[in-house]
Structures are given as structure tokens and as C-alpha cells.
């Protein structure tokens, strides 16, 4: 939620702000703004709507300066508007602040400041930061910020500049992501590496409770007490092409097409010289694992759906009772946890507030914590006892696709690793499973050869206000992911049901031409799924069957059929997800929505 960028250096800060904000727009896109320090003055421009509006607003202003801060917003406090857009300023307009996060005690602080005569311009929580920093400002911006953060409660990443110190940029990190980039031309701060990937690969991952004081040719990092902290500069290994569409019309399509390589890569990173699965770097020993009597998998959205499949795989390969929970529910109804419980958090961003808060609750109960995350150095990764990265590369489209596939494949690999550590599987069986998994990329590629069929399916899916996805067992979980994907970017109400539940109520909703998409990848369940199709057809539904294995019997009952490559049903979720992602993608194209930035959403949800 929200992206911030800042720059102090030799180049034109305005260009860097606009380029950076365009790359951060996936984090929030209801308004944006920037401050440029030019001729010892602060020039601030803020616009409700997409970055394009901001670009248009600054186009003819001829703003030249070497220091700037910028922000792209996903509204939490105050509606999207020019006034509520960041940066926010003090009354004299001499201090400018961009913020990602939430100031939890802003109501109380606002009341106090108002009582002191401060007049607020916006409805945001952020504005209190500008006024408090102003209150403490005595010619040293760093000191003023250091005093201010002592009274700010909540989660925040801040970028701050002041008129009276035109060569100084201050940044603060507390529970929201912020990195610093060090380049020949100057210093950058950003919510995400992606925004500055073409400027530098030398990064400092700032830690919670740190303030960076950046001047022309030097910087210092301190804690909130002012003690200097030495932080390592890391040279990151992310390709610049990861942040571009590479000829695809949308990031989502590019990321769907990346999946065969992502799976290949995730597997190969986990094989040792003998070609066997290796998670030694996790340092989760056989001894520790043997003490675990219960696993919880906790996640949100698409990551939760991979967790549902993970539960089945974990129980199959480890015999450990495994439960899956949505993060926000897990925190408010915490089960009995202790040091013999392993809680696995799954998250693409590693910054999802609901998951972070669930992790903290689990930590208090002394549970062991493993996180499966994509973003390196993210909060969940840092708070966990063990972290396994999915290595899917940056995922930019709000709708998650390749992150999901990488989570799934990693869950299979971890489950088998656990199985080995628990002496439940021998090398021959492991090799057999690995051979199956290694075949997956080829199968995915075969589904990406011809996209016409998905366009036809998409037209049917978005032709009505309501769509049903049906499946049994693992296919039901894929159906849930399918429904989420369609809702999220095609704005069609989509509901996933375990096929057997249909007759217990939802069947009443089926009428002439209601689109019903049936996923059937387990031959043992084909007959039952065929009966389901007959039931909905009898009520007039238009049916699409996505089938693996013997499919002939589906031909006579379903209106449309998509045949998946042959695959053992336990691995089918890795394959059946491709058609449903493409169906949602072309559904979004059909209705003309903004595929990569669907309305009301943001890529990483850093508020509870």
C-alpha cells in the first residue's frame, strides 16, 4: 500500500520521481504527488488519479532540482483527492513528508496539535508527521525527525525534506519496507528495489527503527536514539528486465508466461550435486522437525489458496496434522500453539500486514515459524525462524500468478524434504516425484501455445454477472483461485464451490446461460464431476470443463472442453492453474479493465 521514492544527487530529481513513481504505481494508484527542492524552495504537486495526471501537471512547470520525494497512494485515511495525496506539509510549507503505513495515534496527536493552533489541510494520518517534525525543528532536520519518531505509533516508512536544508534527505523505516540505493550520481530511497533497478544495484535493506540522514556526498544510519549503525551494502541480483513488460501488453500476461521458467528455476535452486532435494540452508533440522506435532499454514488471498493445496501435500508426505487459516482470522481466533507447532506463512510480498500480525501472535506462543516468501529481505522473512524464498522474480501485476506457481512448487519440495527428514520416503520415491515435477514446465508451455481458446472461455465467463467454478478435492482449491482471479480483474462475481455442495443450496442460482466452469483432474472423481455437469446443464448452464486424463465422457455433456496435459492428480494444481489465469486475463481484456491495476486494490496490503 503506497509507494515512496526519494533522491538526492546530481541528476534531475523530477525525472527520477516520475520514473520511480511509475514503477511503484502497482503499490497504490488512487493519487500521487511529489516535492522538488529547487532554488532553496519546496515545490509540491499532488494529483488525485493515476500517475499520468501527475505527469501532465508537472510537464510545463520546468521544475529543476537535485532533491525530491514522491508518493503513490492507496487511500486508508481520507478519500482519494488532491488534498489527501502526499506529500503532506507543515503550515508554513517548509517541511514535506511522504509516508507509507499508518500512524496509529494520529487522532490523539491531531487533537493536541489543533489545540496548539495547528490547522490541518487533509484528512490523512500522515499530516501529523509534518506538523510534529515542524514543532521540533530547530535547524536540524535529522534531530527533529528523531524526536518526532519517538512519539509516532504505528507502522511507517517516511521520506522527508525541508526548505531550510535543501541538501538533506531524511528517511525512516518502521515496519514498512524501505531500501536505500547507492549510486555514482547520488542516493535513492524507495519502497521497492524495482523503482531504482536501472539506477543502481547497490542496496541497503534498512531495518525497523532506523533513520537515514542523507547529504550530498555522505549518509549516516542511526537508530531512534541517534546511535550510528553500520549497514552492509548488498549488490542485488535482479535483472532490469524484471521490471519491464518485455513486449507483453501487460505484466500479468508476461508473468503468466514466465511460469515454466519460474518452476524450473525454483526446482533447480533446491537440488544438490546428487540431484536430490536440499533445504540445508534453512537449518530446520530433522531433530526439530521430529518435535513438531502440528502444522498451521497461514496466508491471505492467492497465497492462502496455495496453502490449501499445501495442507494436502504436507499431510500426504509428512503425516503431520496440518490446518490452513486466513491470516486475519488466525490472529483473532488464535489456536493452541506451542514450541511443537510449526506455523508456515506464505506471502509473495512478505509485507502483508495481516500475515505479519499473525506471525507476531504465533511468535508470542513460541511456535516455530517458517515463511515462504518471494521478496528478499521482506518483513516476514526477517521475522521468521526459517525462510524459504520462492525465487519467482519481481511480480508486478496486482493479480498474483507466477508467485502462486512458485509457492506451490516450493510447498511440494519442502513437504518432500520434511518427509525425508522424518524417514518417511526413500531416495527412489523422491527421484520419482522429482521426475514428475521436472516435467511440469513442459506441460505449462504446451498450454501457453495457443491462447484463442481462453479468449472464447473468457467471453462466456464475463457475459453474465455471476460465474461458478466447481471442483472436488484439490480442484476445488484451484477453483477458489480461479474465482478470485476472475473477480479481481474482471469485476465479475465468481464463486468457487466444492462440486458436491452445489445441490445443498447454490444450485438455485443456476439459470439459463449461467457460466459454470468445472475443473476435473482426478480420474477417480470424473464420474461425479460429469454428474455435476449434467445437473447444471439441466438448469440451463453454459459449461466449460477443464479436464485431465480420460476426457471423452465430458465431451457429450459439456458445452466446451479444455484438455490438460496428462498429469498425476496430486500435481495437477500446478498445471490446471494456467487456463484459469488466462481466462481471467482475457476476461479483463474483454471488459476493458486495467488488468495490472484493478480498481480498489494494491499489490501489497500493508494495512490490517
Contact footprint for ligand M6R (CB under 6 A):
300-303, 347-349, 352, 355, 398-400, 484, 488, 604-605
> Is 274 considered catalytic here?
no
Give me the least distance between CB of 380 and ligand M6R, in Å please. 8
Cell representation of residue 462: 464475463
Q: Which is nearer to ligand M6R, 486 or 519 (CB)?
A: 486
Tell me how far, at minimum, the Cβ of 331 lies from ligand M6R, in Å: 14
Nearest residue (CB) to ligand M6R, 130 versus 484: 484
Asked whether the CA dihedral 499, 539, 531, 467 is positive or negative, the reply is: negative
Q: 3-state class of 584 per DSSP?
A: helix
Reading the block at residue 101, the C-alpha cell is 503505513
- Closest contact distance (angstroms) between CB of 496 and ligand M6R is 14
Identify the CA nearest to 103 among candidates 44, 172, 49: 172
Query: How far is Cα 298 from Cα 311, in angstroms, rounded to an integer?
Result: 10
Of 23, 420, 485, 603, which is the active-site residue?
Answer: 603
CB closer to ligand M6R out of 32 and 355: 355
Which residue is it, cell 515462504?
372
**Residue number, 303 or 341, with CB nearest to ligand M6R:** 303
CA 245 – CA 259 distance, rounded (Å):
15
Nearer to ligand M6R, 127 or 354 (CB): 354
Q: Which is nearer to ligand M6R, 32 or 400 (CB)?
A: 400
Q: Residue 303 or residue 514: which is nearer to ligand M6R going by CB?
A: 303
Q: What is the closest distance, in whole angstroms, from the C-beta atom of residue 298 to ligand M6R in the complex?
A: 10
Rg of the Cα trace of the chain? 25
Has 603 been annotated as catalytic?
yes
- Which distant-in-sequence residues (6+ apart) come within 8 Å of 233 by Cβ? 182, 202, 203, 204
Closest distance of CB 297 from ligand M6R, Å: 13
CB of 171 to ligand M6R, least distance (A): 23
Surface-to-core class of residue 227, CB atoms within 10 Å of its CB (0-12 exposed, 13-18 middle, 19+ buried): exposed
Cβ-closest position to ligand M6R: 301
CB of 81: closest distance to ligand M6R in angstroms? 25
Strand partners, 386: 370
Buried b (16+ CB within 10 A) or exposed e, 458-475: bebbbeeeebbbbbbbbb
Q: What is the 3-state secondary structure (H, E, C) of 316-385?
A: HHHCCCEEEEEHHHHHHCCCCCCCCEEEEEEECCCCCHHHHHHHHHHHHCCCEEEEEECCCCCHHHHHCC
Of the residues 2, 129, 161, 300, which is catalytic? 2
Sign of CA dihedral 419, 421, 424, 430: positive
Place of cell 538526492: 8
Q: Cβ contacts of residue 146 below 8 Å, gap of 6+?
A: 211, 222, 224, 226
Cite the active site residues.
2, 603
Amino acid at each position: 500500500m503506497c509507494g515512496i521514492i526519494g533522491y538526492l544527487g546530481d541528476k534531475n530529481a523530477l525525472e527520477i520521481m516520475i520514473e520511480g513513481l511509475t514503477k511503484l504505481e502497482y503499490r497504490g494508484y488512487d493519487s500521487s504527488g511529489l516535492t522538488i527542492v529547487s532554488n532553496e524552495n519546496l515545490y509540491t504537486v499532488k494529483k488525485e488519479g493515476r500517475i499520468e495526471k501527475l505527469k501532465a501537471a508537472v510537464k510545463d512547470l520546468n521544475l529543476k532540482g537535485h532533491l525530491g520525494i514522491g508518493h503513490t497512494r492507496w487511500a486508508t485515511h481520507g478519500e482519494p483527492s488532491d488534498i489527501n495525496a502526499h506529500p503532506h506539509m507543515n503550515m508554513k510549507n517548509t517541511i514535506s513528508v511522504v509516508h507509507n503505513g499508518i500512524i496509529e495515534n494520529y487522532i490523539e496527536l491531531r487533537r493536541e496539535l489543533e489545540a496548539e493552533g495547528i490547522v490541518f489541510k487533509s484528512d490523512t494520518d500522515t499530516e501529523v508527521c509534518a506538523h510534529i517534525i515542524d514543532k521540533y525543528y530547530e535547524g536540524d532536520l535529522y534531530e527533529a525527525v528523531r524526536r518526532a519518531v519517538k512519539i509516532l505509533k504505528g507502522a511507517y516508512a517516511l521520506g522527508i525534506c525541508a526548505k531550510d536544508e535543501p541538501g538533506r534527505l531524511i528517511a525512516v523505516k518502521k515496519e514498512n519496507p524501505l531500501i536505500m540505493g547507492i549510486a555514482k550520481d547520488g542516493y535513492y530511497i524507495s519502497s521497492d528495489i524495482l523503482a531504482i533497478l536501472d539506477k543502481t544495484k547497490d542496496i541497503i535493506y534498512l531495518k525497523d527503527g532506523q533513520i537515514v540522514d542523507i547529504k550530498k556526498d555522505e549518509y549516516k544510519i542511526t537508530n531512534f536514539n541517534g546511535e550510528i549503525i553500520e549497514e552492509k551494502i548488498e549488490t542485488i541480483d535482479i535483472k532490469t528486465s524484471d521490471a519491464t513488460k518485455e513486449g507483453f501488453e501487460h505484466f500479468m500476461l508476461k508473468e503468466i508466461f514466465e511460469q515454466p521458467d519460474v518452476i524450473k528455476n525454483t526446482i533447480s535452486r533446491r537440488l544438490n550435486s546428487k540431484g536430490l532435494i536440499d533445504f540445508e540452508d534453512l537449518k530446520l533440522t530433522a531433530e526439530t522437525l521430529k518435535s513438531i506435532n502440528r502444522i498451521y499454514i497461514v496466508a491471505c488471498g492467492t497465497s492462502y489458496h496455495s496453502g490449501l493445496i499445501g495442507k494436502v501435500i504436507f499431510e500426504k508426505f509428512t503425516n503431520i496434522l496440518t490446518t490452513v487459516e486466513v491470516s486475519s482470522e488466525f490472529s483473532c481466533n488464535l489456536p493452541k500453539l506451542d514450541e511443537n507447532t510449526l506455523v508456515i506463512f506464505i506471502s509473495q510480498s512478505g509485507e502483508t500486514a495481516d500475515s505479519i500480525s499473525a506471525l507476531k501472535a504465533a511468535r508470542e506462543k513460541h511456535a516455530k515459524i517458517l515463511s515462504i516468501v518471494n521478496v528478499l529481505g521482506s518483513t516476514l522473512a526477517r521475522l521468521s525462524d526459517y525462510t524459504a524464498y520462492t525465487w519467482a522474480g519481481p511480480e508486478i501485476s496486482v493479480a498474483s500468478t507466477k508467485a502462486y506457481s512458485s509457492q506451490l512448487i516450493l510447498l511440494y519440495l519442502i513437504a518432500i524434504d520434511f518427509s525425508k527428514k522424518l524417514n518417511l520416503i526413500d531416495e527412489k520415491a523422491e527421484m520419482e516425484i522429482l521426475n514428475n515435477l521436472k516435467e511440469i514446465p513442459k506441460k505449462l508451455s504446451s498450454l501457453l501455445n495457443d491462447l484463442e481458446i481462453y479468449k472464447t472461455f473468457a467471453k462466456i465467463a464475463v457475459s453474465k454477472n455471476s460465474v461458478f467454478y466447481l471442483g472436488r478435492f484439490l480442484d476445488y482449491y484451484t477453483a477458489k483461485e480461479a474465482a478470485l482471479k476472475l473477480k479481481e480483474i474482471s469485476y465479475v462475481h465468481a464463486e468457487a464451490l466444492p462440486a458436491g455442495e452445489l445441490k445443498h443450496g447454490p444450485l438455485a442460482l443456476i439459470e439459463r446461460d449461467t457460466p459454470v466452469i468445472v475443473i476435473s483432474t482426478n480420474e477417480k472423481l470424473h464420474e461425479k464431476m460429469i454428474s455435476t455437469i449434467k445437473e447444471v446443464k439441466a438448469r440451463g448452464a453454459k459449461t466449460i470443463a477443464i479436464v485431465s486424463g480420460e476426457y471423452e465422457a465430458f465431451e457429450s455433456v459439456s458445452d466446451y472442453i479444455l484438455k490438460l496435459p496428462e498429469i498425476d492428480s496430486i500435481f495437477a494444481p500446478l498445471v490446471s492453474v494456467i487456463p484459469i489465469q488466462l481466462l481471467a486475463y482475457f476476461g479483463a481484456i474483454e471488459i476493458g479493465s486495467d488488468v495490472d491495476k484493478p480498481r480498489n486494490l494494491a499489490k501489497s496490503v500493508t494495512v490490517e
